[in-house]
Amino acid sequence: MNTSRIGLLLGPLFFILIFQFVSPEGLSHEGVALLAITAWIATWWITEAIPIAATALLPLLLFPLTGVLGIKETSLAYSDPMVLLYMGGFMIAVSIEKWNLHKRIALNIIAFMGTDLNRIILGFMIATAFLSMWISNTATSLMMLPIAIAVVSQLGNQSLDKSLADTTIGRALMLGIAYGASIGGMATVIGTPTNIILVGVVKKSFGVEIGFSQWMMIGLPISVVLLVICWYYLVNIAFDLTLTKQTKGGKEEIDEQLKALGRISKQEKRVLWVFLGVSTAWIGRTFLLQPLIPVLDDTIIALIGVMLLFVLPSGEGKNKKLLDWDVAEKIPWGILILFGGGLTLASGFQVTGLAQWIGEQFILVQNIPFWLFLLFIIAAVNFLTEITSNVATASMLLPILAAVALAMNVHPYGLMVGATFAASCAFMLPVATPPNAVVFGSGYLTIPAMIKAGIWMNVISIIVVLLATLYLLPSVWQLNLGIYPEMLK
């Protein structure tokens, strides 16, 4: 019997056992019901008994039946502003992909970096990371893969040893793309689903909004530092590129692909202007736009951008717009449902008192140094997401960490932000993230090769995220990690 079949049976079994036979002191009936529901959902998410988005629909069924929340209150989270923000980001991303603007951006960044092999790999990583800040890391990886394969093939033709190009250059370049996609997504709120889950849980749990620019103040530095370290590690430690550094084959292939794209089209220009306008508004909202329009938030900005894409003509045929519904409906709706399920759980944790009860059970961790407990959380999430969905992991853990922070009397942002960044740092296995799976499919990589290179990147990322959470986060967000603020209690 495989894992999914076992999970399919265990999920409802855990629910029944907890709901019927568990009655902890100090926890309400609704809290016990939510604990049972969480066990069921967590089991199905971890084992992927059914698609994880489908599992995220369980609260709509179980919350009303067990008395946790009514159907109306439960369903509200599935149309939460954070869900709509990500929907808007997805639609802007598919518009960029529709007119091939993402490929032009990527190729120009790579071409700018030069002919040295180390710099070509850096160019691929920068291009992948930049695109992953704004569009799906899966789509970015899929787009970069054929470009990278063509470059490796061209380099192999230039090299005296084609196997060296495949096993060394090919592996370094493929891993550079996968790592760049994961690292780049950490920089913005919409860069990866886990970031927006954190923002949503913070809003649900504490009524505090983390803005786009506020997130970039912490996310972008971490992303840049990790990207530079990752590049240096790949080209100087993980792989020996000294015998293949000087080559012109890579630049020739990039130049050929740029030439094939031709001049930038008017459709690309129009999408680019909308994209730049939305990005600028997101980054400058708090200090430029909100004083003039107080109700303006990141979700409204995203939806304004989407409506412009639906309205502006593409100039290609009569009544053709930059974005049409045939393209828009291809966005990953399952991810949006998954967000809704995660936010519903977070809301239930607060309403039923389960969050407070869990926090009280962690009273003993008050005696543990905060940095040590934070290290444990970051490392646990980092390696857990090698085998589980990082979105599901974040959805399960973030409400719990908010409660644990209360028990420790430390600011919840430390544990929650550290865990969120750690969830994006799974570099070892093909199943860990979609970018890893995409590059593994290229044929250049083996699982032992990925583990050998990725385990050290996992360790490096744990250290970087720990230091950034302890020292950078309090500085740029102006908070004291050692004190739980009264305003959040």
pLDDT in tens, 132-155: 898 878 778 877 877 787 777 766
Residue 396 lies in a domain: no
Among residues 264, 452, 266, 463, the alpha carbon closest in space to that of 371 is found at 463
In a domain, residue 158? The reply is: yes
**Domain containing 140: what range?**
82-328
Give pTM, 2 decimals.
0.78
385 is a domain residue? no
pLDDT in the model for residue 374: 92
- The predicted structure's pLDDT at residue 160: 44
| Residue 234 clears pLDDT 50, i.e. is over it | yes
- Binned at pLDDT 50, 70 and 90, residue 250 comes out as low
Q: Which residue has the higher pLDDT, 167 or 18?
A: 18
At residue 187, does pLDDT exceed 80? yes
Q: What is the mean pLDDT of residues 331-350?
A: 82
Average of per-residue pLDDT across 77-95? 84
Predicted pLDDT of residue 465: 95
181-192 mean pLDDT: 90
Residues 141 and 9 in one domain: no
Asked if residue 66 is part of any domain, the answer here is: no
Picking from 328, 352, 378, the residue at the C-terminal end of a domain is 328
pLDDT of amino acid 436? 83
In a domain, 467, yes or no: no
Range 310-332 average pLDDT: 85
Mean pLDDT over all residues of the chain? 84
Percent of the chain whose pLDDT exceeds 70: 92
Does 123 share its domain with 192? Answer: yes
* 135 and 190 assigned to the same domain: yes
Given this model, what pLDDT does residue 146 score? Answer: 75
- Lowest-confidence segment of 84-93, 152-161, 198-207, 391-400 by average pLDDT: 152-161
Residues 11 and 128 both lie in one domain:
no
Please check the confidence at residue 163 and state whether its pLDDT lies above 70.
no
Q: What is the spatial distance between Cα 276 and Cα 140, in angstroms, rounded to a whole number?
A: 18
Are 169 and 308 members of one domain?
yes
Task: Please report whether residue 293 resides in a domain.
Answer: yes
3 with 134, same domain? no
Q: Would you say residue 486 lies in a domain? A: no
**280 or 66, greater pLDDT:** 66
Give the span between the Cα atoms of 93 and 67, in whole angstroms: 39
Residue 424 lies in a domain: no
Examine the domain organization and report whether 144 and 232 are in the same domain.
yes
Q: How many domains does the chain have?
A: 2
